[in-house]
Structure 1
């Protein structure tokens, strides 16, 4: 009877409409129930980030799970902002870095690209041209250095600010903007060479 009452009390304290800060505060206190709500809210954003930033999409689902488990252990360090998405993406970035250092497996390939599907091509020629363009973009991004690629994906496809990226990567904001500028310029040059 007491267990059922305790579970019911936790459920009423962490409803699905609770803020991310309240959910992470409950997780930091040892209640893992709210972690499911956070997962439901943010797992697809984390997954999309990892699809763009990770070299092997076979590892992405494992990394998503690991991100939330690691975030549960680090919940006490959450700064209380409105959304936990930057915090979770930061955890994912750290896991990617750790994996790269530990296993030396971060290769220059992004398996999935783009956040919105392109409109269907009007003709087979358009379809072939679109596939070639996407392959050139994937290839150009894959040739970027790890740090430039991470910054590019975090800013361009995850809509994070330079300040958020700098905080998550532990680098100065100026370094983030320099890497982003260099990544964009390198990408533009690669695409121009491919168009000739």
Structure 2
């Protein structure tokens, strides 16, 4: 249905092949619909990396449920429905409204700090502008610009008349100023899933028995890792190099089972993960590193200089949790007195979230008291 000039095989044939041949034959479906599914998720979540995570989860679920798809010609709308439900599930789990502060940063393809700052601000401006559009216009705009789909293709995906798509785009363009419209197109096209997306999802599919994913399987993985973590340390090293953040997070979380036999290796891996492009991995790496059983002096002199800069992290949740962590908030050593004052001051000056700022106030107060 979508992008026929790029992939001439019809949806029904793709579905038939995927049902018959498994994950490898599912890859063309991912390739065809990756931008569309990402756009649907982004319209609801307004956070780029969360939209990509939902897109991956959508394709994993779609592969599991493919046998239930009765009308293969509705593959696109069916995938859209899954993406919508997964997006709603994520928002419910978080029990919060979308926070633009928690927009994920881009991957480590950063030419310079100034360029990164400008790109981040541009993305925020675009998402704020899109967020002010009515929902139906927002989804239509993201679909139209992210994948470069024609109006006819967008109408087919949304299962609405072509005239409806034209009207929504016209009204959205009126709401967006002319200069902002160009920014919207530039940012959305730049954030579309890259070529590696299909391979990443394929890796996810192949990580689980018969292409399936379940909490029972996660529990089984944890149980098995408890047994083999020590002799299998090389597996952690490889997992931390995987492109999908779920695997890197799992590896970071389970690395404790390789202690104490591989203490120094684990420490070095956690240090490296402090600069991971995913905020969850960075956050978990910091917590895990400060929990390693080494001397207070080593934590102060070696670990703290690496963890303290996360007070300036792009993610508000990371900044807040690091502020708690450095005060010994979860039973760790209290490092308040040793956090560089210039980092605390800069973090406090930049912080706009009230809850995070309160923790920074406490950190600053404890630091100053310790210096008296």
TM-score, normalised with respect to structure 2: 0.34
Distance 1:153 1:68, change over 3 A: farther
| Number of corresponding residues | 159
Partner in structure 1 of residue 13 of structure 2: 22
Structure 2: how far apart are the matches of 1:93 and 1:109?
A: 23
Match of 1:164 in 2: 153
Aligned residue among 161, 185, 193 for 2:174: 185
Helix, strand or coil at the partner of 2:177: helix
Tell me, yes or no, if structure 1 residue 94 matches structure 2 residue 81: yes
CA offsets 1:132-172 (integer angstroms, 9 cap, x no match)? 11210122223322211221122211232222222332211
Separation in 1, partners of 2:178, 2:97: 21
Q: Structure 2 vs 1, CA of residues 101 and 127 (structure 1 numbering), >3 Å: closer, same or farther?
A: closer
* Partner residue in 2 for 1:67: 62
CA RMSD of aligned residues (A): 4.0
Larger Rg: 2
User: Equivalent residue of 1:160, what SS?
Assistant: coil
Query: What SS class does the counterpart of residue 36 from structure 2 fall into?
Result: helix
Unmatched tracts of structure 2, length 5 or more: 1-8, 182-372
1:88 deviation in Å?
A: 4.1
Q: Is the 8 A contact 1:51 1:113 kept in 2?
A: no
**Structure 2 Cα separation of the partners of residues 67 and 98 of structure 1:** 12
Instruction: Answer yes or no: is the 8 Å Cα contact 2:54–2:83 preserved in 1.
Output: no
Change in Cα spacing, 1:107 to 1:95, as seen in structure 2 (3 Å) is farther
- Which protein has greater RCO, CA pairs closer than 8 Å, 6+ apart? 1
8 Å contact kept, 1:155–1:165: yes
Contact 2:140-2:168 at 8 Å conserved across structures: yes
1:151 pairs with 2:140: yes
Q: 1:180 to 1:133 in 2, by over 3 A?
A: same
5+ residue gaps, structure 1: 1-18, 80-86
